[in-house]
A and B are shown apart, each in its own frame.
Chain A
Amino acid sequence: MRKLQLLLLAVLLLAFVAACSRDDAPPEVAPPADPTPEATVPADPDPVDDEEDIDPDAIDISEFVELHMLLLGDRPGDLDLVLEEINTHLRANINAEIDISLISLADHTTMYSLRLASGEVIDIIYTSSWAHYPQEAVRGAFRELTRETISRYMPLTYAQQPWRSFEQARIQGRIYMVPANSAPLQGHVTLVREDIRIAHDLPEVVDFETFELYLETIARDEPGVFAHHSSQNNDILRGLIFNTGNNIISLPGAANFAAMRFTYGMTPSSADIYWMPDMPEYREFALLMNDWADRGFWSRSAPADSTMPRDAFENLTSGTFVHNSGTVGVLGNLLGARDIDTLAVDIFPDAYRFFGVYTGDGMAIPMSSVNWQRAMMALDQLKFDYDTFAAFRWGVEGTHWTAVGDRYFRIDNPEAQARYVFGGISWGIRNSIFERTNIEAFRSSTEIFATWTDNRAVYSPVDAFVFDATSVQTEMANLTNATARHQAILDLGLVSDVDAAIAAFRADAEGAGLEVIMEELRRQLDEYFAQ
């Protein structure tokens, strides 16, 4: 009899387990079903509720809460130490603490959506125009933020950050992100090896011609070093030579296929938009890349090479590194410490540089957040309470950094600093009001940046535009695939006949529904320009 009971118990247990997993397994049943955020505060311990009153003093923070933050980046060695510092401030100011988990930058394309869909409680998550914001927002992953909730729970931010920045974050009319408070200037700087240049008695790299000569010399005379290390694709040189070199803007949200020429003072219209490979500039670029590939500027096996360009430059197997001025500066300093002479150069000194978007960095509150009000308050503190901001951004003062005046910092202990690299995981709260730069920053790279700000910094006419591909998903999926098949090898110059390859690309893109996509894109742009 007892054995029978045991068996029954086992069966019951089984049924129970099955039933439980039915509850937990599909993420879709977990979070609130109603899209309006105010109406769905699940089991909110906070008695002061939404419409009741808008007096910020009335926010009840008597109950201590722990908030979970998900960011992109690698775990810094001193994260616990820094968190202790941040939490000291947060406990005092809003009776809350945060913990941080991370998705490596190498994994975020696949992991980000999974973590959001898994149903785990996340209160604050990094997001941006390049890190899944439009896609996840459309899918309903984030809580909508309104002027009321922002002004109530994020008073510091609301008072000091231009509302224009929030406007830029609108997706289908709604805001789901707290973007950065400033739009940084975009533009690529090229880092070259001065030791190689001087050894071969080459002229200084100041423009495209001297750059090409430098690359050619490395390809010919420096065994073991590639002129430019290309990994899997050639997006970097396309951005530099095709885009910057011709003042061509790639369209936000459609950057890998649609582009427009920029001229100063232009009145933009949707007729200026082209499918990138259709532009004569692109053909010219592809021909040049074919020539460079034939001359051995990079590996013929580049599509299969998974070494990152930055690593290749750092281990001295690449002659150039192209990136934003900050990253170039970090790498230049790093090699300088190893007595390798590098120089940041601008090979297109006459090209326009564009201000980026506010939404290039930001934070969102996922739907799975239970304490979303406190999450917003924590975000407010992290962004605009100087002490909390400084701890999160640079680490513990005195350990990781030392303040120099109001705008700079100094690194006294590089080993400690390496355990909490400046800005390594904290771009989501970037705040230009408090921002500091390293006083020992790589000179040539900051100088180039300064010449842009002084001379050629312009606003892109499409900076706040985001292509919403919801209505052309099928065509976009097919075009993405056609692009994956053709773009990288064209950019890398590995096709035998450029014109034939572009024609084949066009045929595949047309088959994918390119016309439908371009029509939708132009329609949205007409609306955007009309505003």
Chain B
Amino acid sequence: MSAKPRRAAGVLAALTAVALAATACGGSDEPAGKDAKNITLTISANSIVGGKNSAGAEWIEKWVIPKFVEAQKAKGVTAKVTFQASGVDDEQYKTKLALDMRSKGGADVIAVDGIWVGEFVQAGYLKPLSEVAGNQVDSWEGWSQIPETVQGLGSFENKRYGIPLGTDGRVLYYNKKLFARAGLPADWQPKSWQEILDAGTKLKALPGVTPIQINAGTAMGEATSMQGALPLLVGAGGEIYKDGKWSGATQPVKDMLDFYTKVYGGGLGDPKLQQEAKGRDKSFAEFAAGKIGILAEGDYFWRSVVNPKDGIAKMADRDTTVGYAMIPAKQPGAGIRGQDFVSMSGGGVRVLNPNSKFPSQAWELLSFMASAEAVKAELAGAARITARTDVNKEVLAADPMLNFVAEKVLPLTAYRPPLAVYPQVSVALQEATAAAASGKSADEAAAAYQKKVEGFVGGPGNVTS
């Protein structure tokens, strides 16, 4: 049995080598098919009518495609645009995209998470927009409307690969009714971690109330990193990746983990909830039911969870009961860049597939989808922080919370490194928070974390400690 696979493996190795050689000599200078009269384009996004992110899928099918086809028709071009709906786990969607692009296939316009851009570029799946679609990219009107930091979501090593869809920010939500009962102010804004813990201690006196919910552990996945570990890390002045090195058991990492031990070791949080597969859903339900005092979440929570209209854990009295505050640094001035307050952000990006047969028209479609008109149509009356300042000015005015995020939080925020090993480092970080939440000391958890990270990133040389 051993000989046969080995021979087959040899053949396969040869095949793979040929395939790699073939991929190496692709690419062209001029956008192909620029003047074609018959074009076909495909849009891919992880959304599906009747399922995940249904509204987004509907917008593409019922608004974007007809409008775009119409506009092309006016130019004498017959366009056939199809939408490849997906609607599965992000990891699975990402895998499928990578497999498609690896074999020079895939849709022309693809929606991705901003954090995948770097790894896709490194793998050779993406090329800079101006290389794919030519000079028209740089003269697009939209760039002036998208703040530099947000443009960063679609960039890698100072080159643009896609147009961001929007962004978000993390804050601390709190229940004003519980705060009143615990003798805490209605307009709460903690200035240090200690003030969060102090508020938690007061909330602890209320029966049946979990004072603080800071996501921990691997069950919550990336929600632990984005809503817990990373905001705390930047609050202690640390960055997960800086100057080509990953953060090991540095002091900020230890501080972050120490905060977890204080919350969960001090009886201020519910450690069990962090382990449950549906723990995050439960934390939403408990907050909506007035059983959680303070909850760290993104603006998604406000828009889609406790939204009295169509949230998944509706709060009829959201506007009066739910308060929000910026996440403080450990002490004033201790955050990254010397900040008093911090946050983390992410967001989606639409990219161009370099293998598109009609790259120029694909860019037209992509930029059309990011036009002010299209973005407003996508929102369909709902408020969300889009990439475009002009749209935000119009739609966010009606929602003080989102306005708060756009005005106060986004200028302070930080982003994750868009590198292929980040997901693994993130899991290691989540495991460290799990250890801290279940009683291990911060030093112990940090040491174990550093060991894992060294394994992922190619030895201690790439890790700071």
Determine if chain A interacts with chain B.
Answer: no
Which residues in B have some Cβ–Cβ distance to A below 8 Å?
none
